[in-house]
Amino acid sequence: MTEAASNPSGAFYIRTLGDGRYPSPLPCEAFVSEDDVVVLRPSFKLVRVSDTPSPPPNITSPTPLRLPATGPDSTPSPATNGSQSPLSTNTPSSEGSLALPRIIPIRTSSPSPHPDAFASPLVEKAGPRAALYWDPKTVRVAVVTCGGLCPGLNNVIRGLVNTLWYRYGVQNIFGFKYGYEGLNPATSIEVPLNPWTVRDIHNFGGSILGSSRGPQDPKIMADFLSSKNIRILFTIGGDGTQKGAKSIFKECEQRGYEISVVGIPKTIDNDLAYCDRTFGFETAVAQAQPPLLAAHEEARGARNGIGIVKLMGRDSGFIALHASLGSGDVNLLLLPEMNFTMEQIVDYCVKRFTEPVRGMSNTVRDHVLIVVAEGAGQNLCTPSGGLGRDKSGNQVYGDIGVWLKSELGKQLKARGIEHSIKYIDPSYTIRAAVVNASDAAFTLQLGQAAAHCALAGKTDCIVGIVNGLFVHLPISRVIEFRKKVDLRGPTFQAFLDASGMPIDMARQSEHKSAEQD
Ligand SMILES: Nc1ncnc2c1ncn2[C@@H]1O[C@H](COP(=O)(O)OP(=O)(O)OP(=O)(O)O)[C@@H](O)[C@H]1O
Ligand SMILES: O=P(O)(O)OC[C@H]1O[C@](O)(CO)[C@@H](O)[C@@H]1O
């Protein structure tokens, strides 16, 4: 088994149980080879040719890069001497060694190259392999869904099961109910999974396998899996779930029990490290629109009306940001990434109630639509000493929506301002929704990618999407950190431009999530 670690040049190695030993039954003309890779970060600074530094040590070949010249002061590309750029080829490599990407998009004309331009990690492409490690005819497969619900869980299960069954001929697929509780014999409930049992499930929210929070002993789970001769385990869940998957894999590895543990990451908050997108997020953004419209109408229907909508997002405000951009009516957006005060919020509401619209001296805006992400303003709404932790060890957060409604009401009253506040919390309505078409297509492909990955003998990894391509990523890397909204980034700036929200309310927060403690 190869070691799962990133090497100094940044490749994200995926563990494999061994070489493929069974020919794939797929009638496929486009098998993915092991040296097919995706560059993790494609966003490079432009490089002025004359300032191009020598390659850093992790680039093994000293052959200079071919760089297009853009200005009169450019020097000719050193690669015009006939030598071929190492970056124009896809050097074959064995599993566990570094393959150079076909293209590294280095362009010209900025002062110095971004360090990532040379050190960008490469990740393995997902997809069907020509040779399989597990025999589809005999392999036994388990599936669990853990953590909070999310639109698309059933779609992933259906994509997995149908691919395994129809494409590979796997007929021993078992769901275990209520998350990791299902892998403990004391609480286990088995659900046979086949095309018949999953035929309609994509039309429903939730998970047919249910879910749970709270730890289970990895030793007990490993005993359970080995007692049933399960050789492939799919863990559909968030970062906690993938940490659990890792602990199961480690326990199995220690006792020499071969198993492919493949995660399908679920976070409605879209904060999974390295990945472009996670399933359920787009659906959540779309599902947030009706409550936003309702809150807007309620706010406009009263003198000095305020509508507040709370959306999910414990540590990252992507749902709130994208839903607000999509709505076009949101005036104030409060994210976990932001540091704001109650005084700023009250001042802004008062300003909208009293200052005339530019060029219209008799017209005031008379209403405010506020979107608040659940993790925002925790320094304001959580009692000192905190609210403890849930069964899985996640910090319980104060209810910023309820607190904001009450506090804003009190402070406006204290300033003698007549007002009306309506508060909507659609969090669970959104989370239990059926996926939209885009997420349905995405979840289907994630299920397919996970099936290909596991049958090839990959393990201790997840499937995700990077730069628009499905890839394998080591579990250890995706649990390293969470993506956050960049308040200086183009999406948040687009919201500021569109809403006119004061920029001084958008200072970066110092608030740390439980995982950063
Ligand atoms: N560090 C860990 N090691 C082992 N197991 C863990 C770890 N963290 C969480 N788990 C287990 O994984 C399962 C799901 O975890 P959790 O409740 O944190 O949800 P999650 O997967 O992070 O999803 P969500 O994004 O909905 O919170 C639980 O059974 C939990 O005990
Ligand atoms: O109410 P529950 O089930 O604990 O889940 C709430 C959490 O789940 C998430 O949706 C992540 O899945 C968070 O945004 C939210 O805080």
pLDDT in tens, 109-122: 334 444 444 456 78
**Which residue's alpha carbon is at the smallest distance from atom 5 of ligand 1?**
244
Which residue would you say has higher pLDDT here, 382 or 336? 336
Which residue would you say has higher pLDDT here, 225 or 362? 225
Backbone angles phi and psi of 282, in degrees to 5 = -65, -40
Which residue would you say has higher pLDDT here, 471 or 75? 471
Percent of the chain residues topping a pLDDT of 70: 81
Q: Average pLDDT of the chain?
A: 85
**Which among 149, 178, 236, 241 is the best mutation to test ligand 1's pocket, defined by most ligand atoms within 8 Å of the CB?**
241
Between 163-167, 351-355, 373-377, the lowest mean confidence (pLDDT) is in 351-355
Other C-beta atoms lying within 10 Å of the C-beta of residue 44: 19
- The reported pLDDT for the residue numbered 497 is 94
Measured in Å, residue 35 CA sits from the centre of ligand 2 at 38
Name the nearest CA neighbour of 70 among 110, 103, 42, 104.
110
Measured in Å, residue 217 CA sits from the centre of ligand 2 at 23
DSSP letter at 421 equals: E
Identify the residues whose C-beta falls under 6 Å from ligand 2.
147-148, 150, 238, 268-269, 312-314, 374, 390, 431
User: Does residue 458 register a pLDDT over 50?
Assistant: yes
Confidence band for 71, pLDDT divided at 50, 70 and 90: very low
Confidence band for 507, pLDDT divided at 50, 70 and 90: confident
Active site residue 36: no
Which ligand places an atom closest to the C-alpha of 239? 1
pLDDT in tens, 266-320: 999 999 999 999 999 999 999 999 999 999 999 999 999 999 999 999 999 999 9
Domains delineated in the chain: 2-37+125-278+434-478 (3.40.50.450), 289-425+486-505 (3.40.50.460)
pTM score: 0.84
Which is the closest atom of ligand 2 to the Cα of 238?
12
Which is the closest atom of ligand 1 to the Cα of 147?
19
Identify the residues whose C-beta falls under 6 Å from ligand 1.
146-148, 179-180, 212-215, 237-241, 243-244, 247, 267, 392, 394
- The reported pLDDT for the residue numbered 113 is 43
Measured in Å, residue 509 CA sits from the centre of ligand 2 at 21
- The reported pLDDT for the residue numbered 171 is 97
- The reported pLDDT for the residue numbered 79 is 31
Side-by-side strand order, sheet with 461-466 = 37-39, 122-125, 469-474, 461-466, 260-265, 232-237, 140-145, 172-176, 190-192
- The reported pLDDT for the residue numbered 84 is 32
- The reported pLDDT for the residue numbered 44 is 55
Which ligand places an atom closest to the C-alpha of 316? 2
Which is the closest atom of ligand 1 to the Cα of 215?
31
pLDDT in tens, 119-155: 567 899 999 999 999 999 999 999 999 999 999 999 9
Which of 269, 271, 315, 329 is catalytic? The answer is 269
Measured in Å, residue 391 CA sits from the centre of ligand 1 at 9
**Which residue's alpha carbon is at the smallest distance from atom 2 of ligand 2?**
148
The torsion of the CA quartet 348, 350, 354, 357, rounded to 10 degrees, works out to: 20
Which ligand places an atom closest to the C-alpha of 179? 1
- The reported pLDDT for the residue numbered 47 is 54
Measured in Å, residue 313 CA sits from the centre of ligand 2 at 8
Calculate mean pLDDT across residues 201-209.
Answer: 98
Which is the closest atom of ligand 2 to the Cα of 397?
16
User: Does residue 414 register a pLDDT over 60?
Assistant: yes
Write the DSSP string, 197-252. TTTTGGGSSS-TT----S---HHHHHHHHHHTT--EEEEEE-HHHHHHHHHHHHHH
Calculate mean pLDDT across residues 435-464.
Answer: 98
**Which residue's alpha carbon is at the smallest distance from atom 18 of ligand 1?**
240
Which spans in 262-370 are helix H?
A: 281-287, 289-300, 318-327, 342-354
Which residue would you say has higher pLDDT here, 382 or 106? 382
Q: CA-to-CA distance for 278 and 486, rounded, in angstroms?
A: 18
Measured in Å, residue 476 CA sits from the centre of ligand 1 at 14
